[in-house]
Structure 1
Amino acid sequence: MDLIARIEALFLRRGRAEYESDVAQPVPVLAHALQCAQLAEWAHADHELVAASLLHDLGQLIDAEAGAPLRIESHETAALSLLAQGFGPGVLEPIRLHVQAKRYLVATEAGYEAGLSPSSRLSLERQGGRMNAEERLLFLAQPYAREALQLRRWDDLARQPGKRTPPLAYYLDLLADLMRDMRTPPRLLIA
């Protein structure tokens, strides 16, 4: 099964599931992913960041395929080995860093934590809590930290029940185009 088909299968089989948490989530995984990707597009993010926005919680669906519950904490790395089969760091790194981005924002922006969904606030401590000064410096020094911060903000906003978005097929086409562009070597213009 090719990568796009695998992603589609995960979303179609498990994407209607709700996140497991002590606090109910307002939207299932697929609706959240589509809303997050749409917000990235509306912000004119590049295709890699739109893809990362769509795929940032895919690790939870992989866990579910293995029989584990959909967990909010420790999911950010579960899909990276699968996604590395077709995508580069512009997609993978914002996904890997999006939980750290929440921890960074809680530590640096007054009122950010109060604006988190109840389940995000609950999972924050399980994910390491607010970052200390050293952790903040290390986070910002990482390539793609800024993109992870953008992804995190869209992640926080992508929780509106019943919100209309483009269908999954629209974003799967975007993923296929992105993978094709990554495989095509750039042309050199010789004058």
Structure 2
Amino acid sequence: MLSRDELHDLFEGLAGLPYGGEVVDQRTHALQAAAHAVAAGADDELVLAAAFHDVGRARPVAERHRGLPHEQAGAAFARDHLTERSAWAIEQHVAAKRYLVAVDPAYHDTLSPVSVRTLRAQGGPMSPEETAAFEAHAWSSDAVALRRWDDTAKDPEGPVLPMEDLIAAYERVMR
């Protein structure tokens, strides 16, 4: 289990870290995604998944998991420090974007220019076979919810989850 100080340090390490051309930094993005999860009534595991979904971009995590895409590095970190459900949602949040583009044509128009660009690099819309396999997983709706919170967590004026609330959720899940 991570200590309160380790959690603070991890998220403080995201402050000022660019978020691929978006108008918010990695810390704001993470805490906004978590705030959206709370507003949607998500349970603590999904709030944590929202907060940690891009942790694979944090310097210590990326260095430990060199060469892995951020969602896989983040999932590896989450398997060590969160729950399997949180880790799976983190690992699948990129796949969920590909899924949503495949099943909801209007979804593409909601993506930021950066997300449209990365979608191409991530493989574009899922094939029908990939879509069926994704839908068959028991936690696919968790990954889709996380993806939607991720997409809306790019507002410099948007709400952010206070660190104390994030730490409290972490302690409830990990006790």
Q: CA deviation at 1:77?
A: 1.1
Question: Take 2:112 and 2:173, find their aligned partners in 1: how far apart are those partners?
Answer: 31
**Which residue is equivalent to 2:45?**
48
Quote the offset at 1:89 in angstroms. 1.9
Corresponding residue pairs, total: 173
Tell me, in whole angstroms, the C-alpha distance in 2 between the residues paired with 1:47 and 1:64: 22
Q: Distance in 1 between matches of 2:55 and 2:5?
A: 14
Choose which of 8, 12, 29 in structure 1 pairs with 2:26: 29
Q: Secondary structure at the match of 1:17?
A: coil
Counterpart contact for 1:14–1:64, Cα < 8 Å: no
Structure 1 residue 59 displacement after superposition: 0.5
**In the alignment, which of 52, 58, 76 is matched to residue 61 of structure 1?**
58
Hey, what's the Cα distance between the residues in 2 that align with 1:65 and 1:93? Answer: 18
Question: What is the aligned partner in structure 2 of residue 10 from structure 1?
Answer: 10
Question: Under a length normalisation based on structure 2, what TM-score does the superposition of the two structures give?
Answer: 0.89
Distance in 2 (alpha carbons) for counterparts of 1:136 and 1:101: 9
TM-score (norm 1): 0.82
The 4+ residue runs of structure 1 with deviation greater than 3 A are 1-7, 62-65
Identity among equivalent pairs (%):
35
| Bigger helix fraction | 2
- Contact in 1 for aligned 2:85/2:139 (Cα 8 Å): yes
Helix, strand or coil at the partner of 2:123: coil
Contact persistence 1:74–1:127 (CA under 8 A): no
What's the Cα RMSD here? 2.3
